[in-house]
């Protein structure tokens, strides 16, 4: 354990730089974050890294002042070691090494995907869930088996969040597009009494336990080009891709015999997805959990929480082993805590 001191977590895998804290008992405190929002186009890794570098001093000062902390009260520094965008990860790792050295606090490099799972378990109080991890760059269905979080199914092309963001961007909606698609879909749904999918059908993206989203994206863009209302297509898009995710999650529950489903990642902020998971779980006498939204999106607190768990398991990261790993997989990290 972190010996009564605080663990600082630094998240920098993609669009967001975030600092978060857990106390000596591993209890989370809200993050201080800033997200790059390009005027046009997608997230450029170099520009996002420059954003993170520029914002870091201000965010670090704020997490200390908001929690009335002196830097000397920080007893360990956790950071996202991967997976993510190389230039962004490198900034987070550099900040972490600098602080570790300055504060004489051990460094702990952690797996970003595992951090999403662990903050969800802590927040929701579930024990051994199947995780539906739906974010910008990742879409995975995961379960813990023999000391690892195993990926049972995942996207074969782009992440579900990236797909939603790309669809939004094609219609002039800036990043992050997911929340706006949710709003447009709900408006259309409430304003139309007939909820027919006729003429709004899209490819259904399940391949065994895996998923795919680029074909659905192309087909959804075509529907709008061919004159279907944007709100209607947003509704159809959500129904199709969320159903696909929930179908794989259900099969994972069935195969593993587990009875808890936990949502994680930015797309887990979506109310429609949350309610689909509830319905499916209720139908099979299982429970569905979704963490508070501030812990679904990328946040430093989840990195701090996993760092605290790793330290409790006796692990830290010597500087020589602290290089980032863009392609770190969920199942590469041993899970030794209960
Ligand atoms: P993350 O990569 O986990 O930080 O999540 C970011 C992604 O979550 C982006 O692709 C957002 O568009 C998406 N997102 C955030 N809120 C929502 C929402 N309410 N509905 C759908 N997607 C969302
Ligand atoms: Mg994430």
In DSSP notation, 272-331 reads: HHHHHHHHHHHHTT-EEE---GGGTS--HHHHHHHHHHHHHTT----GGG----TT--GG
Nearest to 141 by CA among 336, 330, 335: 330
Residue 251 CA neighbour count, 13 Å, CB half? 15
pTM across the whole model: 0.95
CATH class, domain 6-117+296-332, is alpha beta
CA of 24 relative to ligand 1 center, distance in Å: 30
Q: Which of 35, 133, 136 to mutate to test the pocket of ligand 1 (most atoms within 8 A of CB)?
A: 136
The CA 256 to ligand 1 mean position distance, Å, reads: 28
Site to substitute for ligand 1 among 16, 83, 164, most atoms within 8 A of C-beta: 164
Q: Which helix (H) or strand (E) holds 263?
A: strand 260-264
- What would the CATH number be for the domain defined by 125-293? 3.30.420.40
What is the rounded distance in angstroms from the CA atom of residue 94 to the CA atom of residue 113?
A: 20
Q: What are the tens digits of pLDDT across the range 243-296?
A: 999 999 999 999 999 999 999 999 999 999 999 999 999 999 999 999 999 999
Residue 279 buriedness (CB in 10 A; 0-12 / 13-18 / 19+):
exposed
State the pairing for strand pair 28-35/139-145. unpaired
Burial of 271 (0-12, 13-18, 19+ CB in 10 A): exposed
Q: Rounded to the nearest whole angstrom, what is the distance from the C-alpha of residue 164 to the centroid of ligand 1?
A: 8
Ligand 1 binding pocket (C-beta < 6 A) is 135-136, 161, 164-165, 176-179, 182, 265-267, 269-270, 297-298
Ligand 1 pocket, mutate which of 120, 132, 266 (most atoms under 8 A from CB): 266
| Residues of the chain where predicted confidence (pLDDT) is lower than 70 | 1-4
Whether residue 266 contacts residue 33, with contact meaning beta carbons closer than 8 Å, is answered with no
Q: How far apart are CA 297 and CA 134, in angstroms?
A: 10
As a whole number of angstroms, the distance between CA 87 and CA 94 comes to 11
Contact predicate 106/77, CB 8 Å: yes
Do residues 289 and 128 touch, judged by C-beta distance below 8 A? no
Ligand number nearest CA of 113 is: 2
Task: Find the 101 Cα to ligand 1 centroid distance in Å.
Answer: 34
Structure confidence at residue 31 (pLDDT): 98
Measured from the alpha carbon of residue 267, the closest ligand is: 1
The answer to whether 119 and 108 are in contact (CB under 8 A) is: no
Distance 173 CA to ligand 2 centre (A): 21
Domain ranges (residues) in the chain: 6-117+296-332, 125-293
Contact status, residue 180 vs residue 168, Cβ threshold 8 Å? yes
> DSSP character for 240?
H
DSSP 87-134: HHHHHHHHHHHHHHHHHT--EEEEEHHHHHHHHHHHHHT-SS-EEEEE
One fold for 6-117+296-332 and 125-293: yes
CA 314/CA 146 separation, integer angstroms = 19
């Amino acid at each position: 354990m972190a010996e009564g001191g605080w663990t600082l977590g630094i998240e920098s895998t993609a669009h967001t730089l975030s600092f978060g804290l857990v106390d000596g008992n591993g209890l989370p405190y809200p993050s201080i974050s800033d997200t790059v929002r390009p005027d046009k186009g997608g997230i450029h890794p170099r520009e996002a890294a420059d954003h993170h570098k520029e914002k870091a001093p201000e965010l670090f000062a704020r997490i200390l002042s908001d929690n009335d902390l002196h830097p000397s009260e920080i007893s360990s520094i956790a950071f996202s070691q991967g997976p993510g965008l190389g230039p962004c990860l490198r900034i987070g790792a550099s900040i972490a090494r600098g602080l570790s050295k300055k504060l004489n606090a051990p460094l702990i490099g952690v797996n970003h995907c595992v951090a999403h799972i662990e903050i969800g378990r802590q927040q929701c109080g579930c024990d051994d869930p199947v995780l539906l991890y739906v974010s910008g760059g990742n879409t995975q269905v995961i379960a813990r088996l023999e000391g690892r979080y195993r990926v049972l199914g995942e996207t074969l092309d782009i992440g579900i969040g990236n797909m939603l963001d790309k669809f939004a961007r094609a219609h002039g909606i800036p990043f992050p597009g997911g929340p706006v698609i949710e709003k447009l879909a709900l408006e259309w749904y409430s304003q139309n009494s007939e909820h027919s999918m006729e003429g709004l059908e899209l490819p259904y993206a399940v391949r065994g336990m895996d998923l795919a989203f680029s074909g659905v994206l192309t087909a959804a863009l075509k529907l709008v080009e061919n004159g279907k209302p944007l709100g209607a297509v947003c509704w159809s898009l959500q129904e199709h891709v969320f159903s696909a995710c929930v179908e794989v999650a259900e099969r994972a529950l069935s195969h593993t015999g587990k009875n808890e489903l936990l949502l994680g990642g930015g797309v887990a902020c979506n109310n429609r997805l949350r309610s689909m998971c509830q319905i499916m779980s209720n139908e099979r006498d299982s429970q569905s959990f979704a963490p508070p939204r501030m812990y679904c999106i990328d946040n430093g607190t989840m990195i701090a929480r996993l760092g605290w768990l790793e330290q409790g398991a006796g692990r830290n990261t010597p500087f020589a082993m602290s290089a980032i790993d863009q392609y770190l997989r969920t199942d590469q990290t041993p899970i030794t805590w209960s």
